[in-house]
Amino acid sequence: MKGFIRVASILLVAGAVAARADTHGVPAHRPPPDEYGQVVMDNFATTSGIAAVRFDHWLHRSEYTCRVCHVDLGFAMQAGATRVREVDNRHHQYCGACHDGKEAFAVAPSGYDAESQKVCVRCHAVGERVTPRPDFYTFTEGFPKTLYGNRIDWLAAQRRGQIKLKDTVPGVTRRRRPIRHQGETVFAARDLQMPEIVFSHPKHAVWVGCELCHPAIFPVEPGADKISMQAIFEGRYCGVCHGKVSFPLDFDCRLCHTRDVY
């Protein structure tokens, strides 16, 4: 009997590992609007005796394009994959590229006095009793609203000029002439009952440029990769951003599947 249990458990574990798209039937957790896109970075912080970093995408994306951080500054697309160290920041890499006292508030000088601590906890805030500033609701009061993610229509806010996105970091970005891209591309859904997907290059390029998606996430050759919804749900292709920071996948299929076939 013991042997049977052992074999069965090994098989179970092997099965669970083999299954990429594992479903355990647990409903998705929907974060509140002010926490959507929040990333906790804790590669070295808590082991070094300081609180983990809480990074709010909503605050940063209201001033910068995604491209600035994820291409020019070299931040990875998975939380914790960049492994930012204090020494990097102090040498104007990663966060330190902007948080230098000119573009944004500076990284605190070394030392553990009360004044430095106040600056530290602005980012090293997980578990600390700090009021995030600026306040999400005050900051986004006049922004056009939606019903998903941060409940803010970021594209409309950008279009209306309520947010002015910077696409450069002084001393880091080299300006190049923009490349002309395709307009809208229509993808047929594999399931006949699903409407077609209308993908807009112009809408995306404002935020992400070319390099964020091509060629790492999407090959440039049309049709070279078969993109499935399952892969997207697993965090590949569109799912690299959508579902984590840009609008969620678990709201309404119609956000992408817009064009009715019948």
Partner 1 sequence: MNTGREDGRVVSGVTLPSLFGFARQPRPRVVGGSVGILSLRTLIGLLFCTLAGGVSAGSYFELPTQPPPAAYGNLLINRISVRNGIAPVVFPHWIHRARYTCRVCHIELGFNMAVNTTEITEKRNRHGQYCGACHNGKRSFGETDRHQCRRCHNGNRYVGEARFRKFAAGLPRTSFGNRIDWVKALHEGKIKPVRSLHPSAYKPLQFEKDLVLKAAWKMVPPAYFSHRIHDQWLGCANCHPSLFNIKRHTTRHFSMVANLNGRFCGSCHLRVAFPLDDCRRCHPKMR
The residues near 131 (Cβ < 8 Å, ≥ 6 apart) are none
Q: What is the nearest approach in angstroms of partner 1 to the Cβ of residue 143? A: 12
> Is residue 251 a contact point for partner 1 (CB under 8 A)?
yes
Q: Of residues 212, 229, 240, 241, which one binds partner 1 by CB under 8 A?
A: 229
> Is residue 67 a contact point for partner 1 (CB under 8 A)?
no
- SS3 category, 114: helix
> Is residue 115 a contact point for partner 1 (CB under 8 A)?
no
Using the contact rule CB under 8 A, the part of the chain among 29-37, 83-91, 155-163, 216-224 near partner 1 is 29-37
DSSP string for residues in 3-61:
HHHHHHHHHHHHHHHH-SS----PPPP---GGGTTEEEE-SSTGGGTSPPEEEEHHHHH
> Is residue 131 a contact point for partner 1 (CB under 8 A)?
no
Using the contact rule CB under 8 A, the part of the chain among 72-80, 87-95, 146-154, 213-221 near partner 1 is 146-154
The residues near 245 (Cβ < 8 Å, ≥ 6 apart) are 36, 37, 57, 61, 66
Site for partner 1 in 164-223 (CB under 8 A): 193-195
Tokens of 26: 């647990």
Using the contact rule CB under 8 A, the part of the chain among 20-28, 55-63, 119-127, 198-206 near partner 1 is 20-28
**Which alpha helices (H) appear in the chain, and where do they start and end?**
2-18, 57-61, 66-67, 86-90, 114-123, 136-139, 154-159, 201-208, 229-233
Q: What is the edge-to-edge ordering of all strands in the sheet holding 257-259?
A: 184-187, 196-200, 257-259
Q: What is the nearest approach in angstroms of partner 1 to the Cβ of residue 22? A: 6
Distance, in Å, from the CA atom of 13 to the CA atom of 79, rounded to the nearest integer, reads 26
Q: What is the nearest approach in angstroms of partner 1 to the Cβ of residue 147? A: 5
Tokens of 74: 């070299």
- Terminal Cα distance for the chain, rounded: 58
Q: Give the bridge partners for 55, in sequence order.
A: 39
Number of residues that bind partner 1 (CB under 8 A): 34
Q: What is the nearest approach in angstroms of partner 1 to the Cβ of residue 34? A: 8
> Is residue 21 a contact point for partner 1 (CB under 8 A)?
yes
Q: What is the Cα 70 distance to its own chain's centre?
A: 9
> Is residue 33 a contact point for partner 1 (CB under 8 A)?
yes
Q: What is the nearest approach in angstroms of partner 1 to the Cβ of residue 151? A: 7
Q: What is the nearest approach in angstroms of partner 1 to the Cβ of residue 187? A: 16
Using the contact rule CB under 8 A, the part of the chain among 26-34, 79-87, 121-129, 171-179 near partner 1 is 26-34
Q: What is the nearest approach in angstroms of partner 1 to the Cβ of residue 54? A: 15
- SS3 category, 242: strand
> Is residue 37 a contact point for partner 1 (CB under 8 A)?
no
Which spans of this chain sit near partner 1 (rule: CB under 8 A)?
19, 21-35, 137, 147-148, 151, 193-195, 228-230, 233, 249-254, 257
